[in-house]
Structure 1
């Protein structure tokens, strides 16, 4: 089993390692800027080819902007490649599950390899996100899950990430509780060594698709 926080053992006094001093914060931001610029070079042709594949299978805009909650609940627009049909939310917002029939064939591939997240390197460059951190969620889901899972908002005590502990160990189809357990483990134990391990595993998933659940 992946290393995670047991939600049943948490209480209001449970402390996370969410404080960063000036130096570590500066280094992390510097890393984010450098990596996002370097990452955009190989990402650009991959994204261009993928946009064509998306448009062939499901005509329409291959990109979409979606409001997400970032650090301390501040809202921003995340940039993604579209992995679902254009009418995916005709009946309202819905949490994606393992066998979601709204996901296109191309969508399944780009989700497995994380290619759909590559445009968010722009969000990282802008400072909305970090390379490593909990994935930002939509307000409608944060509000819903916070009613059932009291500590869910703690995920927003650090800047959201392009990839993270929950992404490389859980994937897209895990429950909100599982996501929180993994994200809180990262926040409590985050370090440069852990960030590098997550980054290397993410690169492996993007290149091979292996390791993604």
Structure 2
């Protein structure tokens, strides 16, 4: 079993050693969003982490708080700003999550932390993804990200939870950096972001 203190050491070592690169990127992204979008540049939301424990995740804000006449938020595609689209394309919106890694809420590698309302929708097998700490990137992210189905994502997440290792994390990080230079699979087909998970239909017997 992958010892947690080795994983924690990898997380802290990476965040600290990468500061000369990530800190200027954070400051520049925040400045651009402040100038172009105006207002608060950060987005925060409660997400379930390991064993379903809730924490607050931080990201750069890439959407406007635009609402329809009835007060409900407009679809993501209509709220996503041009600068926000660029920030998301290169995953710069994820940079503030390095703070979550320092705090211990997140790991660098693990299943992505999803919305709390998804918790009762998981099958018992899919719920195994919460046996490990969530991450900024993961096995599902380098194997299709938003271009694959939720069921495929969860299969990758559970496989990672059952097979995590130091060298697997290094492999995922290396492939993540390759994808940052050649961004793909950012959007679900026909959608500006990932589609919402509505549950897995039981297979017919």
Per the normalisation by structure 2, the TM-score is: 0.79
Instruction: Output the aligned Cα RMSD.
Output: 2.4
In 2: Cα distance, 1:175 partner to 1:106 partner: 27
In 2: Cα distance, 1:173 partner to 1:103 partner: 19
1:181 and 2:162 aligned:
no
Q: Secondary structure at the match of 2:66?
A: coil
Check 1:62–1:88 CA distance in 2 against 1; reply closer, same or farther (3 A cut): farther
Check 1:101–1:165 CA distance in 2 against 1; reply closer, same or farther (3 A cut): farther
Contact 2:129 2:157 in 1 (8 A): yes
| Unpaired segments ≥5 residues, structure 2 | 187-205
Cα offsets for 1:151-181 (capped at 9, x unmatched): 3322111000111111122224544223212
In 2: Cα distance, 1:140 partner to 1:60 partner: 28
Q: Secondary structure at the match of 2:56?
A: strand
| Unpaired segments ≥5 residues, structure 1 | 1-19
Moved over 6 A (4+): none
Check 1:150–1:104 CA distance in 2 against 1; reply closer, same or farther (3 A cut): farther
Contact 1:71 1:159 in 2 (8 A): yes
In 2: Cα distance, 1:88 partner to 1:66 partner: 18
Matched pairs, number: 184
In 1: Cα distance, 2:126 partner to 2:63 partner: 26
Contact 2:126 2:155 in 1 (8 A): no
1:203 and 2:171 aligned:
no
